[in-house]
Amino acid sequence: MPTLIEQARSNKPAAASILPRAIWPLLVGLAIGALMFYVIGPGMGDYPSKIVLIAGINIILAVSLTVVNGFTGQFSMGHAGFMAVGGYVAATITYYGSMKLFGSADPAGGVLSFTGGADKPTALARWGDALFIGSCLMGGVGAAIAGYIVGLPSLRLRGDYLAIVTLGFGEIVRVLLQGTHEQIQPWRVEDALAKPVYELAISLGGPKGFQLLPTYTTLFWVYLFVVVTLIICYRVKNSSTGRAFLSIREDEIAAQAMGVDITKYKVRAFVLAAFFAGVAGGLYAMDIGAINAGDLGFLKSFDIIIMVVLGGMGSISGAALAAIILTILPELLRNPPPVWPVGLVLIALIAGVSSYRKRFRWKPIIVIAIASTLLEVGRQIALSKGINVADFRLILYALLLITMMLVRPQGIFGIHEIWEILPGYARREAARNGARGGSQGGKP
Amino acid sequence: MTQFLQTLFDGVTVGCLYALIALGYTMVYGILKFINFAHSDVFALGVWMSITIAGWIGIGAAGEPVPPWYMGVLVMLLAMGVCGAVGFTVERIAYRPLRGAPRINVLITAIGVSLFLQNFGQLRWIFGAYPKAFPTLLGDQTLFSLAGVNFRLSDAAVIGTAVALMAALQYLIFRTKMGAAMRAVSFSPRNASLMGINVDLVISFTFVVGTMLAAAAGFLYGVKYGGQAKQTADSMWVMLGLKAFVAAVVGGIGNVRGAVLGGLLIGLIEWFGVAYLGSQYRDAYVFAILILVLLFRPAGVLGKATIEKV
Amino acid sequence: MSTPPIVLDVQGISISFGGLKAVQNFSLKLPRGRLYGLIGPNGAGKTTVFNLLTGVYQADSGTITLDGVKLNGLKPHQIAAAGLSRTFQNIRLFGELSVLDNVRLACHLRGKHSIWSTILRSAYHMGQEAAIHRRSLDLLGILGLDSRAGEQARNLPYGDQRRLEIARALATDPKVLLLDEPAAGMNPQEKKSLRDLIRQIMRQFDVTILLIEHDMGVVMDICERITVLDYGVTIAEDVPKEIQKNPKVIEAYLGEAAPAAH
């Protein structure tokens, strides 16, 4: 029997089909980014599109944390630390880089940007977006290096000990960043030009945070990265690497016995997750125009963990969905809309589908009916008493987390993607396996 | 020299507080093998209950005369009682149904409980989101000075109470029937139940004792630092609690004497770090120690390594 | 008939936990293409021997050599890469993963998986994944599990889980396969087909097998030679017929039950 490597070599598809497979995620990302920027963003107005942008950043954070917490089963509580590392690296390069290259810390739009920039004096000054996106990637690299360092202790520690170490790492990052020197203000460009790079790299604003950053982040960049992150994580999950991650989570001893180098894969998971968190940090910093390590402590890490836990420990689409819902939820709670129409539609759907399949199911209908009624009663009470439900948001999350662990500890979708639990998926998958296996499969 | 002695003294005082909180972590870990992440919030609850109870009784408000010492003890005992009840409820509702579940699930639940306690406490009908001053329950007089270091009444209260509580705990664990049951459950819950020990009862009891110690630590914290900083009900407590957890790990988690040793060690390291290396990295020292200990002696100073059965 | 070359050579390994000497001075020479058995009463140290061989525990003394490669000090995954694979007595499947993915994961060992080619889905990566997919389905076919490929491993019936463990171990392409009580919990019918299956596997995969088993019917039927452990000490090593007559072995087993009655 030829080895797998030999088989793989003999199995090369035509060269023409290779490139598109590597490139199409980027093209889709560009397309969706452009769509968000040109059509959806302007169509929604300023405030909603801001929410959509933050949702995008949260998707990147949640999906990347899924790689460590969901796939590999290591419990990282320091994801915000990676975000902080990436954010500060990106902010430093963009801010001081702008000063050094363009002579000012203002945004220098142009070629890649959609924010204009024809008014800029020199050709160089139109490359601000390139600097920005390069610095975000460098932020990702910086965070990935941090991820490598944090991944190393995970070789020796398991479960809750690792959780505490990652949390400690996040706090150390925060403390170190808050101990940096005052930043050089944008109106003192000459000082920045005079100072050597290593001195600039430790002038990051200290406890006050790194402020007055050029705001380059747009829906385009965020959703470009969202798409790329989603596709890369999906590809990793459905590959030998992803199965190795999952096997570590399921049973480390069996994984080792099957030849999985758990050390290597744990570090890999941390590096991958940290990279995307770092990029998200860069996007976050240059969206707000400031980054403060104090905001990126363990509470921020918990926010991301909640998204992953709710969405499903190991479900990419689940984590993304949870990120969207949890970003929008506070806004909705501020002025809660009635939920019962959605409940009615759901009940109608379930009733329709289940009677079509001749297997009528009462249980979900009753649950939805009761939940809708309760929500409506609660909403009416809140409205009549003038209570701002958004104030209870964190209590709600906490209760949600506790209930989730009691009722469905694997999260809403578990390790499955949303489309995998749709009816018919299992049948199609079985047909696919049968078709491939039938022709070459051996007989028992 | 004065600075050295002062730092040593401060370190020991804070170390006593850490040790009290660490005892709760270590007892729960010893029996249930999980990090009760909400323990630091029980500690915060101890501070806040002390403020509230003192307010109800009507003592210690600013400008009023200092109440007699036994009123302070009363406030502490009441706060311990309330926190014990909260600890019992939390264990009953959130943790008991997860007996036997993967550790990570229990940890996530504990995070949920922690978030809940933090944010519930901040509701305006409970403690409110704004800082309050800790009532004056002890006089601020200096008992004596040694080589320029002042030994205050509040320090005496902190160290004295802490030592008394630790001695009581030591007696409870090693000299009473309940303590023997606790040690048995810690060794093996299944075997303990076969020996006729009511495991659920022992676990509830352990939780209550642990939370009461944290509440006492909260009260003592208020007495020691209440005058200097106003108290808020937010996440700052998590950091203090986490340091206590680090103390438990450094001493060897699951080991009661280790928790005391670790608490003192962490208190000293933190204060010497602050005094001689700079205060802005205060939190980093503790976590750096944690990472070093876990890397080089994962079972802690007094802990024993265990082998996983295949 | 000349003896084939020794593929697994174990020389005097020992390990103790605290004061307990779990395995003492265990030796074994396993010739290529043979099927040897390892038996002994409960707690005799059989599984500990497997754990020593696969690197879960490190031996205090002695050497383990697989096809000329010294295994002492290697990590479990390196030992698997060297060609020693195993099943577990207390089934350790990846329960949340599908049956197919359990086997595909084990195929992972014989490939190269760079993160870049995974992300970019290079031609090499796609070819390798397709090959893994095919090979896994083949293996499942041989073990009679192909109709269950899409199910979650933990939902399989007990006997199927045992066979999936064998499929998974075979997917690592081992030279020597260690089977830890493969017949445990099986009914007589399943045990009979398991015997046939093990013989078929040996022929088809050119693999050498060391078997721990409590079911004497299975052991005496298929093993060519048997080593008997008691309290960590090797008390006999011979062909099945002689083992059945060996007074020491009978004595060791009398504590629980006569060997044939089990």
d(CA C78, CA C97): 24
pLDDT value of position A319: 94
> Which residue among A232, A440, A444 places its CB closest to the CB of C119?
A232
Structure tokens at A252: 């480390």
Interchain CB distance below 8 Å, B307 and C88: no
The pLDDT tens digits of the residues spanning A328-365 come to 988 888 777 788 888 888 888 888 877 777 777 777 78
A438: confidence class by pLDDT, cuts 50, 70, 90: very low
pLDDT value of position C225: 92
Here the CATH number for the domain that contains residue A260 is 1.10.3470
d(CA A203, CA A213): 13
pLDDT of A439 strictly over 50: no
Q: Looking at this protein, which amino acid is placed at residue C203?
A: R
pLDDT of A1 strictly over 70: no
pLDDT value of position A109: 65
Place of tokens 């990436």: A86
In a domain, B74, yes or no: yes
User: Which chain C residue is nearest to residue B305, measuring alpha carbons?
Assistant: C18
Please state the rounded mean pLDDT for residues A279-303.
92
Report how many domains make up chain A.
1
Q: Percent of chain B having pLDDT more than 70?
A: 93
Which chains have at least 3 CB atom pairs separated by less than 8 Å from chain A? B, C
Q: Does A260 touch chain C (CB under 8 A)?
A: yes
* 3 state DSSP class of B101: coil
Q: Percent of chain A having pLDDT more than 70?
A: 86
Residues of A with CB under 8 A from a CB of B: 73, 75, 153, 156-157, 159-161, 163-165, 167-169, 171-172, 174-176, 178-179, 207, 253, 297-299, 302, 305, 309, 391-392, 394-395, 397-402, 404-406, 409
d(CA A199, CA A201): 5
pLDDT value of position C120: 86
pLDDT of C100 strictly over 90: yes
User: Which chain C residues touch A433 with a CB distance below 8 Å?
Assistant: 100, 137, 149-150
pLDDT of A418 strictly over 50: yes
C115: confidence class by pLDDT, cuts 50, 70, 90: confident
Better-predicted residue by pLDDT, A192 or A95 = A95
User: Which chain B residues touch C56 with a CB distance below 8 Å?
Assistant: 310
Please state the rounded mean pLDDT for residues A179-189.
86
Please state the rounded mean pLDDT for residues B134-158.
79
Q: Provide the residue range defining the domain that includes A31.
A: 19-334
Q: Provide the residue range defining the domain that includes B25.
A: 9-233
Taking every pair of Cα atoms in chain B, the longest distance, rounded to a whole number of angstroms, is 66
d(CA A439, CA A437): 6
Better-predicted residue by pLDDT, C151 or A421 = C151
Count of other CB atoms within 10 angstroms of residue B220: 27
pLDDT of A186 strictly over 90: no
Per DSSP, helices labelled H in B92-144 are: 103-121
Interchain CB distance below 8 Å, C108 and A251: no
Interchain CB distance below 8 Å, A391 and B108: no
Q: Where are the domains of chain C?
A: 1-83+174-262, 94-173
Q: Looking at this protein, which amino acid is placed at residue B251?
A: G
The pLDDT tens digits of the residues spanning B149-207 come to 778 888 888 899 999 999 999 999 889 999 899 888 888 888 888 888 899 999 999 99
Which of B 210-269 lie inside 8 A of A, CB atoms?
235, 238-239, 242, 245-246, 249
A435: confidence class by pLDDT, cuts 50, 70, 90: very low
ipTM of the modeled complex = 0.90
Find the helix or strand (DSSP H, E) in which C225 lies.
strand C225-230
Structure tokens at C206: 């050119």
In a domain, B203, yes or no: yes
The pLDDT tens digits of the residues spanning A187-231 come to 888 888 888 888 888 888 888 889 888 888 888 899 999 999 999
User: Which chain B residue is nearest to residue A173, measuring alpha carbons?
Assistant: B284
A406: confidence class by pLDDT, cuts 50, 70, 90: confident
B307: confidence class by pLDDT, cuts 50, 70, 90: low
Interchain CB distance below 8 Å, C127 and A7: yes
pLDDT of B267 strictly over 60: yes
In a domain, A211, yes or no: yes
Please state the rounded mean pLDDT for residues B20-37.
87
C71: confidence class by pLDDT, cuts 50, 70, 90: very high
Which of C 63-92 lie inside 8 A of A, CB atoms?
75-77, 80-81, 85-86, 88, 92
Please state the rounded mean pLDDT for residues C224-244.
90
In a domain, A38, yes or no: yes
With respect to CATH, is domain C1-83+174-262 assigned 3.40.50.300? yes
In a domain, B206, yes or no: yes
Report how many domains make up chain B.
1
Interchain CB distance below 8 Å, C88 and B310: yes
User: Which chain C residues touch B307 with a CB distance below 8 Å?
Assistant: 17
